[in-house]
Structure 1
Amino acid sequence: MRRVALLAATLSAMLLVSAHAAPIDANALSVIDGDTIDVGPHRYWMVGYDTPEIRTPRRKVSADERALATLAKGRFTELLRSGALDLTEVTCSCPVSTIGTRKCNGGRKCGVLLFNGRNIGEALVAEELAVPFVCGETRCPRMPGWPKIIELQFPSRRPQ
């Protein structure tokens, strides 16, 4: 619970220093995974949280992680259809000279997506489909270790 409160405070602070939110139609979005969307020609990574990977070139994704990632993507999609949406583009946590390039967040823009005034990341964290992931001004911490998170979250799945 403390984790969710910390995330809420951090995301609220980020909204105060970012550009203003713009209403967006859910039909204008394409969901890539639980924390990435396409809006027209632009790909956005939602900041403040991280969801498991469906696939990634960085490492092998386990069947358990892929299954949880699929659930997160599905829930993200449901939430998009549950009310008014506002997308706020925020500055990515990269050195200024790399923003907008592949060296910064794989070339994705960064954003915060609200549905009915609530941050979509907060909802996914509260439902244990995501974890808080807060970056600094010019860099992010190491990506969450999803295999370990899943092992701790679902102890019955541990090998005997």
Structure 2
Amino acid sequence: MKTLMTVLVLMLAFCSGSLRAEPITAAEIAVVDGDTIDAHGQRYRMIGYDTPEVATPRRKVRADERAVALLAKERLGELLHAGTLDLTEVPCSCSKSALINGTCNHRRKCAILSLDGNNIGATLIAEELAVPYVCSANRCPRMPNWKRILEQQMKAR
């Protein structure tokens, strides 16, 4: 719970200042996976959380990870219809060189998708379909080890 609160406080701090939430409807959003959406002709990586991968060219995705990834994607789609949505575009955490050469965040923009004023990722974290993932101003930590996370979740049950 402390980690979730830290994530939420960091996200609120990130959103202060000139950033502004823009209302958006579920019809304007296509869910790519549990932490990525397409909206208004742009692809957005949601910040503050990470979900497992359905597929990635960087490594082989295990069946258990893919299963949870599909659940996270489906749940995100359900949440889009659960209340009022706002999309806030935020600066991505990339090095200056990645920003200059266009490789920042795999060419995705970064955003916070809020449901009734709360980061939608908080629900996915609470439901164990995501984990907190918070970057600094110009770099991100290593990606979560989903094999280990899923093994720990199974042991806890």
TM-score for both structures, normalised by structure 1: 0.92
Give the residue type in structure 1 aligned to 2:136: G
Q: Secondary structure at the residue paired with 1:99? A: helix
Would you say how many aligned residue pairs link Structure 1 and Structure 2? 157
**What stretches of structure 2 of length at least 5 have no aligned partner?**
none
SS in 2 for 1:137: coil
| TM-score (normalised: structure 2) | 0.94
Q: Which letter maps to 1:73?
A: K
CA RMSD of aligned residues (A): 1.7
Alpha-carbon distance between aligned partners in 2 of 1:133 and 1:21, rounded to the nearest angstrom: 21
Residue 130 (structure 2) pairs with residue 124 (structure 1): no
1:106 corresponds in structure 2 to 106
| Native 8 Å contact 1:18 1:91 kept in 2 | no
Identity %: 54
Following TM superposition, by how much is the alpha carbon of 1:101 offset from its aligned partner in structure 2, in angstroms? 5.4
Query: Which residue type is aligned with residue 88 of structure 1?
Result: T
**What amino acid is the match of 1:64?**
D
Q: SS at 2:93's partner residue? A: coil
1:42-121 alignment to 2 at 5 Å? 42-99=42-99, 102-121=102-121
Once the two structures are superposed, what CA deviation does each residue of 1:44-63 show, in whole Å capped at 9, x if it has no partner? 00001000000001100011
Residue 37 of structure 1 is matched in structure 2 by 37
* Aligned-partner Cα distance in 2 for 1:108–1:18: 21
Question: Mind listing any 5+ residue stretches in structure 1 that lack a counterpart?
Answer: none
